């Protein structure tokens, strides 16, 4: 679609209120109350390595409680560290990465929608991206999903723009978006978006948009450049993390793929995604049907190609994820995220289209109510979810634990750090506030292996924090170790999480005069 280009003044006048509006919307949905509760669930796995990077300067060898940690690429810890350098090591700083990622993705949705479908579609596309309920949880958490989604949508939309736009209308911007998107997605979640890129390649082969042959070369160069950058960083991180005596914790992508106990979830994944991605999924289907053509002066081929490419990519992407055996809907969040420009097109078409028929009037009423209803829903969600997150956080337990630890204590733990690392982080911070120094050490193999191979004696006083709930077999696994290390249970036990299925743990103390098994 050859839209008239705005001069700088008119462009500023057009975009300023939309950027301000989307920024306010993003703050209300994703930033409001985001710092009111302690870290919870797996947020500590992202925030703690970031804060340890800031303390130790080990930017290319992430650690968590002295354990090299490479389960995920360091993109999210780097981002949290950057925000924390400006906002302090706080929960708000850690979660603001996701909030800003959602805002940037919404602005990108508005920009690409205006290029493909017309400027009237821009705000609706960005607002729908922010207000889709599927994104609320991850967008308000110190998790990798929102940052990864930002990378994926930049890559997918940038590549689509290269394929459908004629002439030289800001082509370098979309090419840069593609390059940055691949880099961001790779640094956030490794190869998790590969299947969606394959889905887009299949969609391009099916639809054959006009620009794909003209720009295939430079798209290939941009992709190769992004892979080279990611490969170089990955090699450096791998080398640095394996330089010490303790092997880093890693995670294979195969852990998230086919497993017979997940067959049922995999089978219903397409239906799960359709319902999870509401209203984007329904609006994208509406745009596919052609209802959104009301927003396009003549339904020109570039707009049609963009619509088809996005919808076909999403459909093929869901199929590929199901074939790969992915059962967790969170891994398909990018599939929903790429739909927002065409959803904005459909929403505008419903509002601005023919209004004579009763069905059209009903559709227009629903469309007009969509954004206000979602906005109210997001506010209610924030109030309710923050209360729940506060109850499930390990912050209070960590502060209580700090009261039990003497100055200079060394606390070793495994299963509790694996499940809820924030307990140990808040314990250490609480001790520091009291003027005490506490050292936390993660021992993934077993307590017996903590000092094995390091030729050190146990420092004193030493404590072990061991899970005793029925979801962990840690106490049974370490029974011999506890005897060998002369660890005795203290009177301190605690729990976090819901009362129906809490995480329970007990503090053990090393008896005076005991030493490591290797002494």
**Would the pTM of this model clear 0.95, i.e. be above it?**
no
* DSSP state at residue 31: I
CA-nearest of 497, 390, 331 to 140 is 390
What is the arrangement of strands in the sheet containing 487-496, beginning at the earlier edge strand?
Answer: 439-442, 410-413, 462-467, 503-510, 487-496
Which are the contacts of 301, defined by CB distance < 8 A and separation ≥ 6?
Answer: 210
Structure tokens at 282: 């329904």
Give dist(CA 89, CA 45) in Å, integer: 14
Burial class of residue 292 in the structure, from the number of CB atoms within 10 Å of its CB (0-12 exposed, 13-18 middle, 19+ buried): buried
Q: What is the pLDDT of residue 365?
A: 73
Helix (H, G, I), strand (E, B) or coil at 488: strand
Q: What is the pLDDT of residue 519?
A: 41
Structure tokens at 502: 């809490």
Q: What is the pLDDT along the chain (519 residues), one digit of tens a residue?
A: 444 555 666 777 888 999 999 999 999 999 999 999 999 999 999 999 999 999 998 899 999 998 999 999 999 999 999 999 999 999 999 999 999 999 999 999 999 999 999 899 999 999 999 999 999 999 999 999 999 999 999 999 999 998 887 665 567 888 999 999 999 999 999 999 999 999 999 999 998 876 666 667 788 899 999 999 999 999 999 998 888 777 888 877 767 677 777 788 888 889 999 999 999 999 999 888 874 444 444 445 778 889 999 999 999 999 999 998 888 889 999 999 999 999 999 999 888 765 545 455 556 777 788 899 999 999 999 999 999 898 889 999 999 999 998 888 889 898 999 999 999 999 999 999 988 889 998 876 545 544 443 434 556 668 888 888 888 888 777 766 666 666 678 888 888 877 777 889 999 887 654 444 444
Q: What is the pLDDT of residue 135?
A: 98
Query: What is the per-residue DSSP string for 256-312?
Result: GS--GGGHHHHHTHHHHHHHHTTTHHHHHHHHHHTGGGGGSSS--HHHHHHHHHHHH
Q: What is the pLDDT of residue 357?
A: 52
Give dist(CA 449, CA 78) in Å, integer: 30
Under a CB-based contact definition with an 8 Å cutoff, are residues 165 and 171 in contact?
Answer: yes
Write out the CATH class of domain 395-510.
alpha beta
Residues belonging to the chain: 519
Q: What is the pLDDT of residue 298?
A: 42
Give dist(CA 40, CA 381) in Å, integer: 17
Q: What is the pLDDT of residue 429?
A: 93
3-class secondary structure for 149-204?
HHHHHHHHHHHHHHHHCCCCCCHHHHHHHHHHHHHHHHHHHHHHHHHHHHHHHHHH
Q: What is the pLDDT of residue 455?
A: 35
Structure tokens at 183: 């880099």
Domain limits of the chain? 8-389, 395-510
């Amino acid at each position: 679609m050859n839209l008239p280009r705005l001069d700088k003044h008119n462009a500023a006048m057009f975009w300023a209120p939309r950027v301000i509006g989307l920024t306010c919307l993003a703050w209300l949905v994703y930033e409001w109350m985001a710092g009111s509760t302690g870290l919870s669930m797996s947020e500590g796995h992202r925030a703690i390595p970031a804060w340890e990077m800031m303390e130790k300067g080990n930017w290319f060898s992430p650690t968590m409680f002295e354990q090299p940690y490479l389960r995920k690429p360091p993109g999210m810890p780097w981002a949290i560290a950057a925000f924390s350098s400006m906002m302090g090591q706080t929960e708000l700083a850690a979660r603001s990465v996701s909030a800003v990622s959602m805002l940037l993705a919404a602005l990108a949705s508005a920009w690409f929608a205006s290029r493909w479908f017309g400027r009237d579609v821009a705000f609706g596309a960005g607002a729908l991206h922010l207000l889709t309920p599927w994104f609320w949880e991850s967008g308000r958490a110190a998790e990798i999903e929102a940052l990864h989604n930002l990378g994926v949508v930049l890559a997918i939309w940038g590549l689509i723009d290269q394929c459908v736009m004629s002439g030289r209308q800001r082509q370098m911007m979309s090419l840069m978006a593609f390059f940055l998107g691949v880099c961001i997605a790779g640094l956030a979640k490794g190869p998790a978006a590969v299947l969606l890129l394959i889905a887009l390649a299949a969609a391009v082969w099916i639809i054959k948009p006009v620009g794909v042959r003209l720009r295939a070369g430079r798209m290939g160069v941009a992709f190769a450049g992004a892979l080279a950058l990611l490969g170089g960083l990955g090699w450096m991180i791998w080398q640095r993390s394996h330089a010490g005596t303790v092997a880093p914790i890693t995670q294979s992508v195969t852990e998230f793929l086919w497993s017979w106990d997940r067959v049922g979830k995999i089978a219903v994944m397409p239906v799960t995604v359709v319902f999870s991605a509401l209203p984007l999924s329904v609006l994208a289907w509406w745009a596919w049907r052609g209802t959104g053509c009301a927003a396009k002066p003549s339904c020109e081929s570039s707009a049609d190609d963009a619509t088809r490419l996005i919808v076909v990519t999403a459909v093929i992407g869901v199929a590929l994820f199901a074939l790969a055996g992915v059962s967790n809907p969170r891994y398909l969040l990018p599939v929903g995220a790429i739909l927002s420009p065409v959803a904005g097109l459909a929403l505008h078409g419903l509002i601005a289209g023919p209004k004579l028929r009763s069905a059209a009037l009903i559709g227009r009423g629903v469309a007009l109510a969509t954004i206000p209803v979602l906005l109210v829903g997001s506010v209610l969600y924030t109030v309710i979810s923050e209360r729940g997150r506060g109850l499930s956080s390990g912050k209070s337990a960590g502060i209580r634990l700090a009261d039990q630890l003497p100055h200079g204590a060394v606390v070793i733990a495994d299963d509790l750090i694996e499940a809820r690392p924030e307990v140990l982080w808040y314990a250490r911070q609480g001790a520091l506030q009291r003027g005490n120094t506490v050292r936390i050490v993660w021992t993934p193999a077993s307590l017996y292996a903590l000092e094995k191979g390091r030729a050190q004696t146990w420092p004193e006083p030493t404590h072990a924090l061991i899970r005793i709930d029925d979801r962990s077999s840690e106490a049974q696994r370490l029974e011999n170790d506890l005897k060998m290390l002369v660890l005795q249970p203290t009177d301190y036990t605690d729990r976090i999480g819901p009362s129906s299925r809490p995480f329970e743990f007990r503090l053990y103390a090393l008896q005076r005069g005991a030493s490591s098994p290797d002494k």
